[in-house]
A and B are shown apart, each in its own frame.
Chain A
Amino acid sequence: AQTVTQSQPEMSVQEAETVTLSCTYDTSESDYYLFWYKQPPSRQMILVIRQEAYKQQNATENRFSVNFQKAAKSFSLKISDSQLGDAAMYFCAYSMNRDDKIIFGKGTRLHILP
């Protein structure tokens, strides 16, 4: 069965600094999708970034980028120039294909220090 592991329950970063959130996953598939979702205190689930496994290029969305290491089954999220609004719970997620269920990690709570 596929699993997603986030080994950092909580992290803190100084405002304007860069932080990296870790995620590893386990799968025997060669084609799949990976996601990072953000959940602020409002409880809303917001997609931050997505990565298709067949794409070697790392996905980037403004200040958010990923380091996708397929062989190592690693999918870390880098947040540059951290802002107070980035404080949230971040979930890493995996899906085998468009038709399959999405499996989530346990989350990393990110604190931004002013």
Chain B
Amino acid sequence: DAGITQSPRHKVTETGTPVTLRCHQTENHRYMYWYRQDPGHGLRLIHYSYGVKDTDKGEVSDGYSVSRSKTEDFLLTLESATSSQTSVYFCAIRGRKNTEAFFGQGTRLTVV
């Protein structure tokens, strides 16, 4: 299994509070991605990174920011959580030699 860990695995937070989700990899892969999964929508890309300090927006980036100061860590921040951001969040990594992405276990975030 690819060495990719998401934390926390579950979180309940209140509307308006900031939340940071962490993705940590031990594979030294260049590419990292954050997706959200919602019923009826599949996986939608939030942000992705193609190297340290190199990030780009996905299709549902509003309300989210990311940072990647080290190859192994990719942080997703909800600046002010809203109920519409209740979802399961997945991190994925992809190496230069790989065609496919490897996924973390997912984080279930509930905003109340």
Contacts and interface: CB of A to CB of B under 8 A. Distances in A.
Given A43-B105, A44-B105, A99-B50, A104 B42 contact: yes
Given A101-B58, A102-B33, A47 B42 contact: no
Interface in A20-71: 33, 35, 43-45, 47, 50, 52
A33 B98 CA distance: 11
Contact of B100 (A35, A44, A101): A35
Interface size class of B (residues with CB under 8 A): 20 to 34
Given A91-B42, A91-B43, A107-B42, A102 B106 contact: no
A105 B42 contact: yes
Contacts, number: 49
Contacts of A50: 99-100
Nearest to A45: B103
A47 B102 CA distance: 8
A102 B92 contact: yes
Interface of B is mostly: strand
Interface residues of A, number: 21
B21 to A, nearest CB: 15
A45 B1 CA distance: 11
Contact of A33 (B31, B90, B99, B102): B99
A95 interface: yes
Residue in B58, B94, B99 with the greatest tally of chain A CB atoms within 10 Å: B99
Contacts of B78: none
Interface of B: 31, 33, 35, 40-45, 48, 50, 58, 88, 90, 92, 94, 96, 98-103, 105-106
Interface of A: 6, 9, 33, 35, 43-45, 47, 50, 52, 91, 95, 98-99, 101-107
